[in-house]
Structure 1
Amino acid sequence: MTEATQSAQPERPGMADGVCSEFTVFTKIKPGHADALRKDLDDLRSGSSKEQNRAALNEIGTLHDARHAIFDDDTRHMFASVFDGSWDTYIDDFAKTVVGANFEKIFSHAEGFPGIADPSVKDWFVAHQAPAEFFISSYPDLTVQQIWKNQRVNEAFQAVLDTPEFRAALDDPANAALLATPAFQKLLDEAAG
C-alpha cells in the first residue's frame, strides 16, 4: 500500500503489536435469534463449511485467530480476531470470500447490521468495535505467512534429520569443521528442542 493510499484511509480503532492487530466487535442479538445464531456458528465448525472456511483463511493468509461468543443471557454476541495488515484490507479481503458470506449469516442476527455488501458496513463495524485497552502478541514481528513458512521449513528440516544420508554426513570427518560451528550446534539444539 502506498503512503498516499494509507493516508486516504480513515483512522480505525484497534491496537497493534508489531504486525498483529486486534479487532473486537460487540453486538446486540435480535430478540429470539440467539438459538439461530448458535446454530449458524455450529454450522461453521462442521463438515464442508469448516473446510471452505479453512481454504478461505489459507487464501487470505492474514488471520491469526478468531472467536465468537454469545453472552449476557443470550442477548449479546462478541466476535474477536487478530490479523496482519490494515483494518480496511482485513474487512475487504474477508468480504470477498466465503467468510464474507459467513459474516452475512452470523451478523444478520445482530441489531442494525446493514449487510456485508452494504457500503456502510465498515462504519457499522467501527460503531460496534471495542478496542482493547491492552494487546500483546507472543510473536509481534511474524505475519501469518512467515509463521506458515517457518512451519514448512521446520517440517522439511526435521525430515532431513531423519534420513540416513544426514546421519552419515554427521559422521563424515570432512564435515567436522561445519559441525563444530556454534551456528550448526545451535541449529541442532533448536531441532532437538
Structure 2
Amino acid sequence: MELKPAAMVLPHDESQLEQGKYGPIFPRTPACYGFTIIARVKPGHAGAIRGYGSTLAEALETDPYLLAPLKLHYLRWVLFDDDTRFMYQGIFDTDFDKYTEDAVALFRKAGVDTVFEHLEDFPEDWKTNSEAFVRFVREHQCNSFMEYGEYPYVTADEVKKALRVRDAFSEMLDQMQ
C-alpha cells in the first residue's frame, strides 16, 4: 500500500458537521484529529506554565506511557505576546469528545492538575465538571481550515508498530552479518 501525502479543507460552517455530546465533531483529517486552544494567561503565571512543562516532562521520564490513554501524536505548548497568551496544540487519534473525556479522567486518576489552571476563565471545578472543561476548550478553540499529512490517516499505534518492525528487521540484518 502506497501512502501518498494528502490534505483536507475543513468546513467553515460548523453546522454542517455531525454533532457530538459536546458540539460539532470535526472529521478525521490526514493529520488525524486535533485542536488548537489560545487563551490568556493569568497575570504572573507564565513561570508556572513553564514549570508545569518541566513537571510533565519529568513525569514522562518516570512513566513514558502516562499520556498513552490520550492516543497523542504531538503536543505543542507556546507562550507568546510577552507571556500573556498560551497556545496548546494537540494531534491525536480520537475525536474531540473522547479526547477531552479521557484527558479529564486521566488527570483525575493521576491526581495531577492541568496547565490550563493557569489560564484566565478556566473552571475551578474542572475535575468534577467535565462539561465546564469542555466548554472552556470550545470557547478558546481556534479551528484549522486545512490540514496536511505526509503519512495521512496513520494512527500513533501504527507508527509505533512500524518502528518496531523496522527495528526488528534492522536487528535481524545485523545478526546476519
Distance 1:102 1:124, change over 3 A: farther
Q: Mapping of 1:1-193 within 5 angstroms?
A: 9-12=21-24, 16-18=28-30, 20-46=32-58, 49-52=59-62, 54-58=64-68, 60=69, 62-98=71-107, 104-114=113-123, 115-118=126-129, 119-164=131-176
**CA distance in 2: counterparts of 1:125 and 1:44, whole angstroms:** 20
The change in CA–CA distance for 1:125 and 1:67 in structure 2 (over 3 A counts) is same
Q: Over aligned residue pairs, what C-alpha RMSD do you find? A: 2.7
CA gap 1:15/1:53 in 2 versus in 1, 3 angstroms: farther
Please identify which structure carries the higher helix content.
1
Offset at residue 98 of structure 1 (A): 4.4
Larger strand proportion of the pair: 2
Tell me how many residue pairs correspond in the alignment.
157
Amino acid at match of 1:104: D
Structure 2 residue matching 1:85: 3-state secondary structure:
coil
8 Å contact kept, 2:70–2:92? no
Q: By how many angstroms is 1:19 displaced? A: 6.6
Q: Which has the larger radius of gyration?
A: 1
- After superposition, the Cα gap between the structure-2 partners of 1:52 and 1:132, relative to the gap in structure 1 and judged at 3 Å, is farther
TM-score relative to the length of structure 2 = 0.75
Higher relative contact order (CA 8 A, sep 6+): 2
Question: Unmatched 5+ residue regions in structure 1?
Answer: 1-5, 168-193
Deviations 1:22-60 (A, max 9, x none): 2100111111212222222222223xx1325631233x2
Q: Is the 8 A contact 2:34 2:91 kept in 1?
A: yes
Q: Is the 8 A contact 2:22 2:134 kept in 1?
A: no
> What is the CA–CA distance in structure 2 between the aligned matches of 1:18 and 1:91, rounded to whole Å?
20
The 3 A distance-change label for structure 1 pair 12 and 103 is: farther
Distance 1:99 1:76, change over 3 A: farther
For each residue in 1:128-164, what CA deviation from the matched residue of structure 2 results, as whole angstroms up to 9, or x when unmatched?
A: 0001122112222211111111111111112222223
Conserved 8 A contact 1:25-1:128: yes
Query: Any idea what SS the aligned residue of 2:64 has?
Result: helix
Q: Given residue 92 of structure 1, which amino acid in structure 2 is its aligned partner?
A: E
TM-score when normalising by structure 1 = 0.70
2: CA distance, partners of 1:129 / 1:102: 25
